[in-house]
Chains A and B, each alone.
Chain A
Amino acid sequence: MNALNKCGRVLAVAAVLLSTACGDLDVTNPNAPDADRARVGSSELGALARGTWHRWYRYSTDVDPWMATGVAADALTSNFGNFGMRFSNVQPRIPYGNISGGTDQWTARYPWQESYGVLGVANDVIGSIKAGVQAPAASPNTAVQETEAYHALALFTQAASLTQLGLIFDQAFVVDEDTVARISAEPSVALELAPYPAVVSAAHAKWDALISLTSTMTGTITSPQEVMPTVGWDLDPESLNKLANTMAARLLAYAPRNGAETAAVSWGQVLTYAENGITDRSGAGFDLFVQGNGSNWFSYINYYGNEPSWLRVDHRVINAMDPSFPAEFDGSAASLAEANSADNRYASDFGWDDGGPIGDPLRGVYMQSTHWHSRWQDHSRFAATGARTPAPYILGTENNLLIAEALIRSGGDLGDAATLINLTRVTRGGLPAATAGEGAATLLEYVQYERLIELMNTNGLELWDARRFDTVQPGTWRHLPVPASELETLGMDIYSIGGPGAELRLGRAARNIRTATPQY
């Protein structure tokens, strides 16, 4: 029994050691902030507010939905199955395939998910500030000024995300810091989908709030390049105010889904916003270029949009520059030949591929093209500098043309409008100067043409223009449905948009997916 005692003691000691000495069951996750640590506190306000800018910019220049909207607008073309391109390009047009499977689901799902992701954080920041959380002072700002700056930054991404939702979807949830407060007070409250005019209106109110805030701010934005690496200027209250005005003008001008809605826009209001925007009536001002660094900051719109082996330019655009050129590729000698345009930009901004079109003709010859957009090719995957050059997001030209269009549509000074149009039409295009004498209708056509050529592959506005100018093909979806995955989560019927007569909402068969078999 001696051995029993001795070894029993050893085992007992081992047991005690095992049961007491090693490790506690309360383990924290060192890899990601936990709820308590991420709840917006004083020191987190800055990181969270800045982070919303980065995420907003990335999804606003990503492949989804901008590759699909580009081909749906017949500005760009491709027949590859990636990024919703092939089936948004099919003739005759078919409904958007709104199902929760397959890659095309991301056309709607990605901007939806990212918009609400950004809104979630922006709302937290604003809600916390309203609840009294204050950022630490950061030279030269006092704590109050620093807090105000983060409030302004979060207000921008809040408004910008609601803007994307209002432009892209037929309906969406309007959520802001007040909604969050309401839900946390009463978790059973279910949000309701609002039709796009209500979403646009909510975004509009947020831009007004930002314009108002930035007009009275006394401090500055510290470390502006960490918010967004702008090129040639830094974010400060004044530039943020101008940017907010341009964004508001864009929202009102691009929200219409057809010509009739376009006519109904308050163009006087657009004019006011645009004139207070990043350029003035003389065209002086600044562009919003974002410096690409190949990792955190870059634009897929340029990375793929200017890459000739992925996306080409629809022959309708080439036809706009050279009316003798076939408006649709058909494989004929004429459509394979180089065009001949009076517009200097045909040579400077576009490439002609003498090797012929890309893609499989069996998917639809009309989806092919011999031309590609080369203006921003330094930023494209095609170039050794890909993703690492400044990428255009809002050009001063876009604001100029908004002023011009608003002048024309609101009965303003056509001479001023012509001057703004000529800033690119004559200087870059080498085309005859537009004059007030040509009349509003012609000047509006010039605006439309300048927008098509100048603003291609900047911020994904091709479809917004095509729908409000009514140049989309019949049956083209003019906005996207709430993504099927979200409808599934909410337990709602899945519906889609597109196909003849269903450009705004699919009527019959409003449930489930595509109602016509894909054609080629």
Chain B
Amino acid sequence: MNRTACLRGLFAPFMALFLAMASSGTALAQGASITGRVTNDAGAPLRGATVIITSLNLGTQVSENGTYTLTVPAASTNGQQVVLTARFIGFKPVQRTITLTSGTQAEDFALEADPFRLEELVISGVADATSQRKLTISVARVSEDQIANVPASSPLQALQGKVAGARISLGQGNPGADPAIRLRGSSSLQVGGNEPVIIVDGVITRGSLADIDANDIESLEVLKGPAAASFYGSDAANGVVNITTKRARNLGDNTTTFLVRSEYGQSGLQQLVPVNQYHAYELNADGSIATTGAGARILKADRIYDNPFPSSGALRYRNQLEEWLTDGKFYSTNVQLGLRRGNTNVASSFTVDRNAGILPFKNGQIRRNLRLNVDQGLTDNLDLSMSVAYGLNQNDFSPGATTGWFELLQAPPDADLETPDPDNADIAYYRAYPQFYQSNRVNPLYQLRYQDYNLRRERIIGSVQGRYRPTDWLSFEAVYGTDRLNSRNHTYTPRGYLTEGGTPGTGSMSIGTNNSVQYNAQVTATASRSWFEDQLATTTRLQYLYEQDDSRSLSGSGSVFTVDAVPDLDWFLTDNRSSGSSMTMERTRDFAVVQDIDFRDRYILSLLYRRDGSSLFGSEERWADFYRVSGAYILSEDFQVPGFDHIKLRAARGTAGLRPGFSYQYETYNSSGGNPVKSTLGNRDLRVAEVAENEFGLEFAFLQRFNAELVYADRVTEGAFLNVPLSSAQTGGFQSQWQNAADISAKTIEARFDALIVNRTDLTYSLTLTADRTTQNIDRMNRAPYRVNATGQQNQDMFYYKAGEPLGIMYGRSFIRSLDESLLQNHPGWTGSVSDYEMNPDGYVVLSANRGTPTELPLVRYDDSGAAWQGVIGDVNPSFSFGIANNITFKSFNVYALFDGVQGADIYTFTRQWMYQDGRHGWMGQGDRPASERISSGFYQSGLYDANNPNDAFVEDGSFVKLRELSVSYNFSPDLLNRIGASRYISGAKIALIGRNLYTWTDYSGFDPDVSAAGDFNFRSDGFRYPNFRQFSGQIELRF
């Protein structure tokens, strides 16, 4: 059957049904009306609480004085029994079974406090919605009120510092770049292979999350590893982030809400890379740099960077970073609309935001997002929900690009980058660094100004869900979700663009389009029953899921334009045009069954089995099985421990997998001028990488003020994928093969602690602390150790995979830093006496005879066999990471501050290493040191620089504490609005000052220690990438 037709066929009945029923929700005449009050246990009204009938998908909100009215349409009022639930954030929900009859009936509720949300329902990874209190696995839940203070630019960033064991980082700051996330330890050795599955309203999505608006989020649920995520099978070993967007089902009938939130601010850097303020040339009497008759600068005999640059004139000193990095604009406007009428409710939102970043001439990302969520009750036991989001993302700087950073950091301080091109009046900037120095370096301004990049990405993520509840214990659900992407990008260098040497180039252009259609379709049956007078509750869930992903991409490029200013592939010389295409198809079928058993609300057992078949697995290994066994014991139900409100012990063991990439199983040949060239050796026996995790948890709440969770989890990946380099001599020319080549293990201890420190009427202070310690190791690898480069960028292969070593080590050579005779003896230049050596002021051992001279060099460490030592020089794994969220409310003021940080994660500062070769880094400048402590340039430029090979001089401690999010807000109370006469127009208002990535405490020398390459925490190297920057803004929010 034609697949597209299949898709349409599947979609059509839902759409038809939805459209047919959309107008049916207005028949209200003889319905039931339930009214009453919802208060806390002291009788105070709970404004904003909801009263719902889940089985009818109906609900309403409680008004300011605590009253509510829930109207049930006549069509749904059949004298049946339904469960009426009143719930409010921070309170235990109360359920009551009532009989629905025409007319009015009264139901009042008094809710008990539940400050730590133990009764909040979780829907991910479980047979049916389950309260936190009864979970047998770890599911971290972050709800809207925890992220609304500082709206994140991406849903994942909203998790930062809030979930124990989750590491989130913007490894590079490009506007529109996706943050990297890793939950607990690594399951994969593939670069970037530790990302969790993201599900948005039932859509399994693998595209950029930069297209999903964080303003739309109602809640995020995070399953951190296979013990919890085995429900999601062969793709879920890295965990699952399940995003639910806002709906209007809890609004009162015939209610419309409208909210406008607008934010405006600026971006900037807190810390700049130190740059060299001194040079090593002879001076004229007036302080200018002396030159020979031929115009060449004259090197000082001592070659020490200690002469200052002139402070005025064309060749004056300037900090190029300070001069050229800009405070780019940031703004965001979000409009949210909610309405409910009868059985129909609609939530819609629109956001436009712009993040200009900090590079000159670049506008950065402009993004528009539109969302429409509709729920429609069809009959008293059948309802439909539809969610659709459209995103349009435009960017004039590639989210992965590093353009300009190398050139800006390496620009000599006496180069006036604004020098116009003397030969071309039309060109505002000279093509290369204008003064002396290397003539083969491009002027970053020329590059940023005259090279053109454009990205346009459209995304539609939508789902339709139908729920049918034939009885109160049985329900069926069908979900169809789709994620459709259309993107195009365009890079254009016009004809006439000058090489650094001044030759007009012939121009170049590349264009690419990418179209991807993913969909998942799922049917589920869930049965929940009580037995033995409610002593035993069981839930059984059966599920079938089909996933499909078809992607097509096309690209074209050319390099010799025959005419000026026509950016079109037609105008390239035929020989200099090339085109490429790619087509990938993936299909997966999954079956799952879950059985939950709850005995007397205290002994809880969950069993799960899942079987996945995937086209991504090798042809000999098409199917894989996964399981989970988990249990919890709520000890506080059996034993009253004074002061403790809740104590739970739980344990789980689950397995999940990682799927191979599309091409892994196939033999691949690259095209060389249209001719096949051997590349990857195929592997038909490639199977899913299977990850098994054990998880043990202890949860307890005490004194009504504190809640804590301690979890220990260990996981083992068997058969992790690795593109194993092969000896092409031995394989007949193939260079590598994807294999299940390694076993990896990771252990995590994580803790969460919530405290209500002050809880008075006009002052509250709550604090949430999350912390984790993760260790990870490569246990087995069926090849010799080798170096890994996360980005493919030159020289950045300081990382090393070796069996028996931690995952995340840096490997290289070392310089001697102590006057230890045994170390010195191994050095080939050993003079025979330690007294011939000394420590130089930078802490490196050098020959005393060379100290302070141009021949002063660091001494490479040698091992006993006489070989230059190579070993572990750094480890990216922190000893622990943590987040502390503080929330203080005083009357109408609210202060929210989120700190997060890591202790002891090393960073390789490749930027500094390369800057050493060019004499540009600030640590090379000697002018601020006493004359006797100065070190000659060669020590850095040849010695430590070491041909950009990995060595321990460039490993820095990447520990940091960040004030990650800060908001100071003022909420206009209804009273105040009334007094100022605004209540006629608005129902609520808030103003806030917001800071993101606001301040960092660190010893790291680079721009920002939040560094990772290729979006992977195992590769913390800093190599001329767009740094993470901070934003400061003002926000105003109006509710109508």
Contacts and interface: CB of A to CB of B under 8 A. Distances in A.
Genuine A/B complex: yes
Interface of A: 1, 3-4, 7-8, 10-11, 14-15, 17-19, 21-35, 38, 44, 47-48, 50-51, 54-55, 58, 80-81, 86-87, 97, 99-104, 113, 116-121, 123-124, 172-173, 175, 180, 183, 190-191, 293-297, 307-310, 331, 333, 336, 356-363, 365, 381-384, 386, 388, 485-486, 488-491, 508-520
A38 B676 contact: yes
Given A81-B947, A102-B950, A23 B548 contact: yes
A357 B437 CA distance: 10
B506 A384 contact: yes
A100 to B, nearest CB: 5
A512 B919 contact: no
Contact of B948 (A38, A81, A121): A81
A35 B982 CA distance: 74
Contact of A124 (B504, B732, B797): B732
A32 B680 CA distance: 10
Contacts, number: 326
B503 interface: yes
A3 B667 contact: no
Given A24-B587, A38-B667, A293-B575, A489 B795 contact: no
B669 A38 contact: yes
Nearest to A99: B949
Contact of A19 (B589, B869, B917): B589
Contacts of B562: none
A117 B476 CA distance: 57
Interface string B1-36: 101001101100100000000000000000000000
B919 A360 contact: yes
Interface stretch (B205-213, B255-263, B613-621, B890-898): B613-621
Interface stretch (B50-58, B234-242, B778-786): B778-786
B981 interface: no
15 contacts: A10-B13, A11-B525, A14-B13, A22-B521, A31-B663, A51-B677, A54-B675, A120-B734, A121-B676, A190-B730, A362-B303, A362-B941, A363-B941, A512-B867, A517-B942
A95 B77 CA distance: 89
Given A11-B478, A119-B733, A336 B296 contact: yes
B795 A102 contact: yes
B784 A488 contact: yes
**A-side interface mostly:** loop
Nearest to A5: B470
Given A29-B666, A102-B949, 7 more contacts: A3-B470, A23-B585, A113-B735, A121-B676, A365-B299, A489-B786, A514-B860
B571 to A, nearest CB: 15
B285 interface: no
Interface in B926-959: 937-938, 941-943, 946-950
Contacts of B813: 513
B662 to A, nearest CB: 7
Given A124-B732, A361-B299, A485-B725, A22 B613 contact: no
B728 A511 contact: no
Contact of B867 (A296, A511, A519): A511
Contacts of B446: none
A164 to B, nearest CB: 13
The list of the 8 closest CB pairs from A to B, nearest first, reads A120-B733, A51-B675, A4-B470, A35-B667, A293-B575, A296-B673, A116-B728, A27-B615
Contacts of B673: 51, 54, 296-297
Interface in B844-885: 855, 857-860, 862, 865-870
Contact of B730 (A191, A336, A388): A191
B422 interface: no
Contacts of A513: 813, 868, 870, 949
A360 B381 contact: no
Contacts of B303: 362
A38 B45 CA distance: 75
Interface in B563-592: 573, 575-578, 581-589
Contacts of A22: 1, 3, 6-7, 10, 521, 546, 548, 587
B451 interface: no
A369 B525 CA distance: 79
B131 interface: no
B81 interface: no
B942 A519 contact: yes
A31 B584 contact: yes
A356 B783 CA distance: 50
A36 B615 CA distance: 18
Nearest to B810: A101
B421 interface: no
B798 interface: yes
B703 interface: no
A386 B507 CA distance: 12
Given A358-B440, A520-B942, A309 B501 contact: yes
Contact of B296 (A32, A51, A331): A331
Given A29-B662, A362-B919, A520-B942, A101 B950 contact: yes
Contacts of A175: 729, 732
B499 interface: yes
Contact of B732 (A80, A180, A365, A485): A180
Contacts of B504: 384
B675 A50 contact: yes
A103 B795 contact: yes
Contacts of A512: 867-870
Nearest to B919: A362
Given A55-B675, A102-B795, A362-B937, A15 B470 contact: no
Nearest to B679: A32
A121 B499 CA distance: 37
Contact of A518 (B614, B725, B946): B946
A359 B297 CA distance: 12
A25 B676 contact: no
B587 A27 contact: yes
Contact of A21 (B1, B622, B677): B1
B787 interface: yes
Given A19-B589, A22-B546, A516-B828, A102 B947 contact: yes
B293 interface: yes
Nearest to B938: A520
Contact of A333 (B294, B576, B622): B294
A25 B662 CA distance: 12
A58 B672 CA distance: 10
Contact of A51 (B672, B857, B859, B865): B672
A517 B940 CA distance: 12
B560 interface: yes
B544 A511 contact: no
A362 B300 CA distance: 10
B530 interface: no
B725 A489 contact: yes
Contacts of B643: none
Contact of B938 (A11, A21, A362, A486): A362
Nearest to B616: A27
A124 B795 CA distance: 34
Contacts of A296: 575, 672-674
Contact of A294 (B292, B294, B576, B582): B576
Nearest to A37: B667
A171 to B, nearest CB: 11
B382 interface: yes
A509 B812 contact: no
Contact of B672 (A19, A34, A54, A310): A54
Contact of B295 (A55, A117, A356, A362): A356
B399 interface: no
B990 interface: no
Nearest to B474: A4
Contacts of A33: 667, 669, 676
B56 to A, nearest CB: 14
A499 B858 CA distance: 19
Interface in B517-555: 521, 523, 525, 544, 546, 548
